[in-house]
Structure 1
Amino acid sequence: MLNRAGLKAVDDFPGKATAYWLTECLVCGTVAHYRLDYIIEKVDSEKPCRACFWWQWNRSLYSGPPTVVEDISMVRLAARERGYEYLGPCFSPSMQGDPHRVQCRTCGKIEARSVGNMGGCSCRKSRARRTPPRKPGTSKLFKDSSSEYLSWWDHDLNSEQDWLTTQEKATRKIHWRCPEFGHQFVKSPASMWRCPECLKRRMSEIHSERRQYDDLSVADVPEVVVYWADERDPATIPINTFDQFMFTCEAGHMVRRRPMLKKCPVCRGQETKRALFAEAIANPEEPRMSAELAEQFHPNRNGKILMAALSPDSGRMVWWRDPNCGFEWQDTPGARDKRERLRCPRCESILDSLAYHYPDIADEWSPSNPQTAWQVRPTGQTRGYTPEWVCKSGHRWQATTASRTNGSLCPECSVAGKSKIELAYLEALSAIFPSVHSGLLIRSQKFTHARAWRPDIVIEADDGSRSVVVEYDGSYWHAEKSETDTKKSLDLIAADYNVVRLREHPLGSLPVSSDHYLELVAYGLTDDISRIVATIEDWMGKRQK
């Protein structure tokens, strides 16, 4: 597929089609990141290489060859302002409009872009989040919520178990009964919105009301024509049209609206504005914008502007101050909550970050990661790397931000999913070897059966020799897993690990033949663990020699 697209791989395949892969164009030599699914999509329609694409597109704008040479200093400045590091032109000489290689300072992705198409990396753009992400273990039961639909629950058709376990935002189907007319229907709690039968009836009533005006013009309706201010003859305009015309109102506002619109939009907006202002006076500590933006509203430099009166989409220029670094700047609430959604322009931290919503998890964010916990989102992707974490005990492991915010913990500190016998062997091996890990995730390009494996115990060698994986196969859980256990053993051996498998009686032996594989029969907690650990230690010594 890469050959068909005119590309060759620079790095190993990242493991999935949606991940960015560093490639080199066989035509122009430009090195850049592309997703495999993007390459497949473009390969039969246009050049996947963006350097070739933009070069051809730029040449198509001229009747002859371009004559103006690009000012590289201006391109470098434009790249810097849009969050990139400038790497150089894709072609020499670089004419005005030609593509250039840039690298995102946030995620490290390399792209070929012309100056006009240098709008910023997609990793820095996101939608505004109106509600904070859910904390793990904080799902609310529907019966304990303040939902207006609690009285709609049909206790006759739903089981008692449903009532006790259904969450507030559940997507499973539940029976409901309209309290006004007794209509019965099925919907999920997450999609509850009015009674479907009542809604149909109301819509039918609205259509019936409109049909009364089907043959009337604006001139035939006195309460509408009295405010007519358009140049056209109202007798020629159907009252039911959705087109807009000029009207006045009792307050003298001149607006363009539909004839059937009963209220002046300007008057309605002013009423809403007055109501919101009155609410802001009454509750000055309850802003309409997000809590994270509200805490950055400058306490001293905004004069008489009420933060509680500002709309989240307001275009009013106000002062902000980042509580972390103290940087002060001006911007509008609407602009801050769009596109890049930066928390601080100087630090390049982002809104709705992992550090803001999950400070406890962010404390375990490793300083070796290319980004800080203020620059990644709780459920977002980190392009080009899997984050490393460091727990309070000093254990290091890799996991996505989504898995951490969904409740995953340090695999070595957690005892969840680990049997008593496995923990007993872990304790015995830790007493002999200086570097022993439990639940460590191993990734290797040499694996052929899976992208990653999580062994029970890993003994790291401190002399450059092969590390040792110890797997305990309980007879109950591994009775039907011989094929998987075999694949796991072969992959780990191929990735330069020595593998020890303790197969609990009466499990059979695995078809693995290698000098780097040891299989022992185990008998659960009745074993002499120290004897088996001594056997492992002796075997490891022979393998090192």
Structure 2
Amino acid sequence: MPNTQQPCSAAGCVAPAVYRTRTKPAYCLHHVDDIFRRGGLEPIGTFGKPDKMRRCRCLTCDVEADYRMVTVEERTHLRATTCDACRWRAWAEMARATAGAYANTTPNDLDAVAKFASDHSFLYLGPLTDPSLPDDPHLTECEQCGVRSVQRVVDMGFFCGCTKSRTRTAPPGKKLFKDSGSTALDWWAEDNDPVLLATATMKANREAGWVCPEGHRFTAPIRTMSETPGCGECADERRLADMVLIQAIAHLTISQVPELAESWDDPGHDPAEVMVLEDRPLVGNGFRWKCPAGHHPRLSISRWYLSGCDHCAAAKTRSSKAGVVQLEPEIANQYAENNSTPLEKVTPGSARPRWWKDPVCGHEWEASPRERMQQPVWRCPICRTRTNSFAWNYPALAEEWADTNPATPFHVLPTGRMSFTPEWVCAENPAHRWSAPLASRVAGAGCPECRLSGKSKMEALYLNAAAAIFGEALSGRAVRHAAFKRRGSWTVDILVGDVAIEYDGSYWHAGKVTLDTDKSLDLLAAGLRVIRLREHPLPPLQISDPSYAEFTVYASAPDPSGVMQQVAARIEASEVSRQ
């Protein structure tokens, strides 16, 4: 929503800026468009924010692609070519000229390029040169976010930025540290912020206070403590004690130390001649030992004396994790039943192929857990759905995702770039449909027709009266149109077909004659009929248009039904005059 209190930063312009800033300049839509045109681009799509993509057409080559305003400003300032198509074509020609006789001029196999683009989640729209040679640019569109971009084949291999974006606060589905069962919970300091314990995940990098069983206090990231807690002061004390133990027997031979002599199993060395001080043989990584369990590890003398058999230690660690699923919850939820290995024994770094089945789409495929964690992390590599998607994190909101959206809620992340504003279908009343960005839904925004917050008591009364007379009346519906001059979009109080009904309370609309006039003119320019219900003593708006009407209403004596009957008669009369 534009900040009506912040004027455009362009010299001499008093129009309101179409976005908010704190320290950087902000511009009205007219001057925003000028910035794109100075960069050689004609804006086509709707402007959102300076760092959001906007569809533009190059004034030189007519190629349509998406650009950010901040990128256009930066390239214009550096006097660089703004259009990626012009820029990469010039770069490819220069590269071939530099290579001379060694330049590769074999035409591209466009079918292979299209397949490569598809394999990396891009819709291939075609080459931008004829013939298309190596290093020449191509036009693509991301299948996930819909951003249209100019890329070389090598650029497609890095996927779209939206595919790799995983930065967000801890969403539902992430395992919280407080629920992990980690032994580090016993070390949690009582003076830590309770909010930190309530929100931190197992992999949080945030610092916290800890108290070890010996009473040592220290701070460390939750991530480093969650799996294997450790105290640095205790570790220093253990190293010092170990050093004392080794120094006490350093002057002796292996045969003179009973604990070492009993487990010695290295036929290549005489234990009566090997000094403990030697620690390692001249050849090899360690001496051969035998533990009671029958293992024969090769370790240094100090390692064996202080820690014992590393095979037994590893088995003890594995047994401590028995029955605990180590994979991410969403990945573990896809582990197929036909696998011979129990899920609890599968580690995230395993390279052994396993079978997976997505319970949503039903596709099955084979891949190792290590491959599953490689970027980009697909939920289903066939459908190109994402892990940590909006649907996984917010399943209740995903149920209201409209089928008309160009992607499913499993294809988009809760945060990141999107080329479209999703449409929603109210779970309470499927007749209610509206558009809203993901951020607003995550923040708690619901169906504008059903919610009461944000509506005055009077507005709610007139909305109910309109629904009773017209059969259906929409509330709080955002309207966007290219004809709008003051704002990119307006929120209409009550929408009945192509009739916008605005309720102007005398308190909130006092002194807003200019704003109310501009909104009415924008809605009229978009082809809507406008009726304003203005509370006494608000002055009438000076608008002369056959599709515009005003009715005076009184807060002290509201008559929603009577007023809406007058509105219905006015609408019927305007429809007759149109015929």
Q: Identify the residue that residue 386 of structure 2 maps to in structure 1.
A: 350
Cα distance 1:352–1:275, how it changes in 2: closer, same or farther (>3 A)?
Answer: farther
Q: Identify the residue that residue 435 of structure 2 maps to in structure 1.
A: 398
Cα distance 1:184–1:297, how it changes in 2: closer, same or farther (>3 A)?
Answer: closer
Matched, 1:337 2:373: yes
Q: Identify the residue that residue 292 of structure 1 maps to in structure 2.
A: 330
1:63-87 Cα deviation digits (max 9, x unpaired): 3454322222322222222222322
Q: CA deviation at 1:525?
A: 6.1
Q: Identify the residue that residue 502 of structure 2 maps to in structure 1.
A: 470
Q: Identify the residue that residue 318 of structure 2 maps to in structure 1.
A: 277
Q: Tell me the distance in 1 between the aligned counterparts of 2:306 and 2:64.
A: 58
Q: Identify the residue that residue 156 of structure 2 maps to in structure 1.
A: 118
The answer to whether the 8 A contact 2:288-2:298 is kept is: no
The answer to whether the 8 A contact 1:349-1:374 is kept is: yes
Correspondent of 1:18 among 38, 51, 68? 51
Cα distance 1:2–1:327, how it changes in 2: closer, same or farther (>3 A)?
Answer: same
The answer to whether the 8 A contact 2:170-2:199 is kept is: no
Secondary structure of 2:470's aligned partner:
coil
Q: Tell me the distance in 1 between the aligned counterparts of 2:276 and 2:552.
A: 92
The answer to whether the 8 A contact 1:469-1:497 is kept is: no
The answer to whether the 8 A contact 2:140-2:149 is kept is: yes
Q: CA deviation at 1:387?
A: 0.6
1:282-316 Cα deviation digits (max 9, x unpaired): 42xx311111111111211x32x332232323333
TM-score by length of 2: 0.68
1:154-196 Cα deviation digits (max 9, x unpaired): 9xxxxxxx99x999449xxxxx9999999999x9xx99999xx
Q: How does 1:66-145 map to 2 (within 5 A)?
A: 66-119=104-157, 120-127=159-166, 132-133=171-172
Matched, 1:496 2:527: yes
Matched, 1:449 2:486: yes
Q: Tell me the distance in 1 between the aligned counterparts of 2:232 and 2:161.
A: 45
Correspondent of 2:358 among 315, 322, 333? 322
Cα distance 1:472–1:129, how it changes in 2: closer, same or farther (>3 A)?
Answer: closer
Q: CA deviation at 1:397?
A: 0.4
The answer to whether the 8 A contact 1:109-1:384 is kept is: yes
The answer to whether the 8 A contact 1:151-1:179 is kept is: no
Q: Identify the residue that residue 513 of structure 1 maps to in structure 2.
A: 543
Instruction: Report which stretch shifted further, 37-46 or 77-86.
Output: 37-46
Cα distance 1:2–1:279, how it changes in 2: closer, same or farther (>3 A)?
Answer: same
Amino acid of the structure 1 residue aligned with 2:479: I
Q: Identify the residue that residue 243 of structure 1 maps to in structure 2.
A: none
Q: Tell me the distance in 1 between the aligned counterparts of 2:432 and 2:83.
A: 42
Q: Tell me the distance in 2 between the aligned counterparts of 1:351 and 1:177.
A: 33
Cα distance 1:306–1:46, how it changes in 2: closer, same or farther (>3 A)?
Answer: farther
Structure 1: any 5+ residue segments left out of the alignment? 141-145, 155-161, 171-175, 213-218, 232-245, 462-466
Amino acid of the structure 1 residue aligned with 2:560: I
Q: CA deviation at 1:328?
A: 1.9
CA radius of gyration, larger in = 2
Q: Identify the residue that residue 242 of structure 1 maps to in structure 2.
A: none
Secondary structure of 1:431's aligned partner:
helix
Q: What is the count of residue pairs matched by the alignment?
A: 487
Q: Tell me the distance in 1 between the aligned counterparts of 2:455 and 2:164.
A: 40
Q: CA deviation at 1:28?
A: 4.7
Q: Identify the residue that residue 83 of structure 2 maps to in structure 1.
A: 49
Cα distance 1:457–1:118, how it changes in 2: closer, same or farther (>3 A)?
Answer: same
Secondary structure of 2:331's aligned partner:
helix
Cα distance 1:179–1:364, how it changes in 2: closer, same or farther (>3 A)?
Answer: same
Q: Tell me the distance in 1 between the aligned counterparts of 2:160 and 2:104.
A: 28
Secondary structure of 1:524's aligned partner:
coil
Instruction: Report which stretch shifted further, 382-391 or 497-506.
Output: 497-506
Secondary structure of 1:63's aligned partner:
helix
Q: CA deviation at 1:344?
A: 1.3
Q: Identify the residue that residue 173 of structure 1 maps to in structure 2.
A: none
Q: CA deviation at 1:117?
A: 2.2
Q: Tell me the distance in 2 between the aligned counterparts of 1:150 and 1:128.
A: 26
Amino acid of the structure 2 residue aligned with 1:310: V
Q: Tell me the distance in 2 between the aligned counterparts of 1:128 and 1:227.
A: 48
Q: Identify the residue that residue 37 of structure 1 maps to in structure 2.
A: 70
The answer to whether the 8 A contact 2:142-2:148 is kept is: yes
Q: CA deviation at 1:262?
A: 12
The answer to whether the 8 A contact 1:249-1:264 is kept is: no
The answer to whether the 8 A contact 2:65-2:149 is kept is: yes
Q: Tell me the distance in 2 between the aligned counterparts of 1:481 and 1:271.
A: 79
Identity of aligned residues (%): 32
